[in-house]
Amino acid sequence: MSELANELENVSANKSFGGWHKQYRHYSRTLGCTMRFAVYLPPQAMVGENVPVLYWLSGLTCTDENFMQKAGAQLAAAELGVAIVAPDTSPRGEGVPDDPEAAYDLGLGAGFYVNATEAPWSRHYRMYDYVVNELPELIEAHFPVNDRRAISGHSMGGHGALTIALRNPGRYCSVSAFSPISNPVNCPWGQKAFRAYLGDDQALWQGHDASVLMSEASQSLPTLVDQGMDDDFLERELKPEALEEAARVSGFPLTLRRHEGYDHSYYFIASFIAEHLQFHHRHLIS
């Protein structure tokens, strides 16, 4: 415990709805760079209760700050007694490679929650291992939480949440997503990232495609997906119908809700985040 404690540096702290939003910096052995994450600790965690954790994975171009500042999740988390942990979306820092064309959908801010196997990405871009293993180890060692976990995310982070949950049966009590990249092997964002990070072997790609994984799933997991129907990326990048078909094939317990008038923004997330927290809370305490 004391050895791990030396790795965490508190960057900021703000009281919110009786709990605390805090940012921390630490050196990640998995990613080979300094990383930052945010944690919201509800008031129950301040009085000796070990609370369950929702891990939130953000989308392209985001950091740990976008969700914590824009989603308005703290009130519901405080009422339900659920901690929220939001990591960054990629490794960062000197020596961490970026897209030489400075595109937003590859490199910094676009880790896609996979373990890269191709140079120059493979040295640092191991967001899958960071989210599944290193980050929860730190959280459970240093904060008043228990081992009940849920995972959620938006867009690229929705892809990450779904694939990580599907690849790790039994590790999470529930999974949800807003506007996820549901079938990345068949959309430009996914194809670009997977070719760069994983190479040309599309069998590796399919291991990080939520629709493929869900169609082959042998174990069920409570799953909630919300999709805005005025989302500019809906047809080209997100493809929720592929996820729906995968659930039909395997009998997977997917609830996919479509919402007229909503787009890809945090206005959409803020409108339904309380319902997602309530969904997770039911399974975290059952």
In this predicted structure, the answer to whether residue 234 has a pLDDT above a threshold of 50 is yes
Q: Is the pTM of the predicted complex or chain greater than 0.85?
A: yes
Residue 12 within any structural domain of the chain: no
Catalytic residue among 264, 276, 280, 281: 264
Strand partners, 234: none
Look at the chain and report how many structural domains it folds into: 1
Confidence band, pLDDT 50/70/90 cuts, at residue 236: very high
Catalytic residue list contains 264? yes
Catalytic residue list contains 155? yes
Among 285, 280, 4, which residue's Cα sits nearest to residue 142? 4
Q: Dig out the tokens for 13 from the structure.
A: 């702290």
In this predicted structure, the answer to whether residue 6 has a pLDDT above a threshold of 60 is no
With vertex at residue 98, the alpha carbon angle to CA 156 and CA 64, rounded to the nearest 5 degrees, is 45
Rounded CA-CA distance 235/54 in Å is 29
Rounded mean pLDDT of the chain?
A: 96
In this predicted structure, the answer to whether residue 101 has a pLDDT above a threshold of 90 is no
What does the pLDDT read at residue 100? 84
Residue 34 within any structural domain of the chain: yes
Q: What is the pLDDT of residues 20-64, one digit of tens each?
A: 999 999 999 999 999 999 999 999 999 999 999 999 999 999 999
In this predicted structure, the answer to whether residue 4 has a pLDDT above a threshold of 90 is no
What does the pLDDT read at residue 212? 98
Residue 276 within any structural domain of the chain: yes
Q: Dig out the tokens for 183 from the structure.
A: 């079938």
Q: Dig out the tokens for 45 from the structure.
A: 């965690």
Residue 10 within any structural domain of the chain: no
CA dihedral 88, 91, 94, 100 (to 10 degrees): -110
Residue 86 within any structural domain of the chain: yes
- Asked if 80 contacts 100 with a C-beta cutoff of 8 angstroms, the reply is no
Average pLDDT on 218-225 reads: 97
Residue 118 within any structural domain of the chain: yes
Catalytic residue among 16, 28, 155, 179: 155
Among 124, 130, 123, 126, which residue's Cα sits nearest to residue 115? 126
In this predicted structure, the answer to whether residue 250 has a pLDDT above a threshold of 80 is yes
In this predicted structure, the answer to whether residue 137 has a pLDDT above a threshold of 50 is yes
In this predicted structure, the answer to whether residue 99 has a pLDDT above a threshold of 70 is yes
Catalytic residue among 231, 276, 280, 281: 231
Q: What is the pLDDT of residues 158-205, one digit of tens each?
A: 999 999 999 999 999 999 999 999 999 999 999 999 999 999 999 999
Residue 237 within any structural domain of the chain: yes
The CATH number of the domain where 31 resides is what? 3.40.50.1820
Residue 194 within any structural domain of the chain: yes
Which residues span the domain enclosing 65? 21-285
